[in-house]
Amino acid sequence: MLPTVAGPIGIFDSGYGGLTVLDGIRRLLPAYDYLYLGDNARAPYGPRSFDVVYEFTRQAVVRMFEMGCHLVILGCNTASAKALRSIQQNDLPHIDPRRRVLGIIRPTAEVIGSLTKTRHVGLLATEGTIKSESYTLEIQKFNPEIKVAGVACPFWVPLVEYNEADGPGADYFVKKRIDQLLALDPQIDAVILGCTHYPLLMPKIRKYMPSHIRIIPQGNYVANSLQQYLQRHPQIEELCSKGGTTRYLTTENPEKFKESAQTFLHEPIEVESIALGNYL
State yes or no: cis peptide before 154, omega within 30 of 0: no
Cβ pair 167, 173 in contact under 8 A: no
Report the C-alpha gap between 47 and 45 in whole angstroms: 6
SS3 (DSSP) at 118? coil
Q: Which residue in 69, 76, 153, 240 is the catalytic one?
A: 76
Question: Which amino acid appears at position 152 of this protein?
Answer: A
Residue 36 — φ and ψ, nearest 5°? -105, 130
Q: Provide the b/e sequence for 128-149 (b: ≥16 CB within 10 Å).
A: bbbbbebbbebbeeebeebbbb
195 is catalytic: yes
Catalytic residue among 69, 153, 195, 240: 195
* Whole-angstrom distance, CA of residue 8 vs CA of residue 70: 8
Q: Is 153 among the catalytic positions? A: no
φ, ψ (nearest 5 deg) of residue 73 = -105, 125
Burial class (CB in 10 A: 0-12, 13-18, 19+), 243: exposed
Length of the chain: 280
Active site positions, annotated: 76, 195
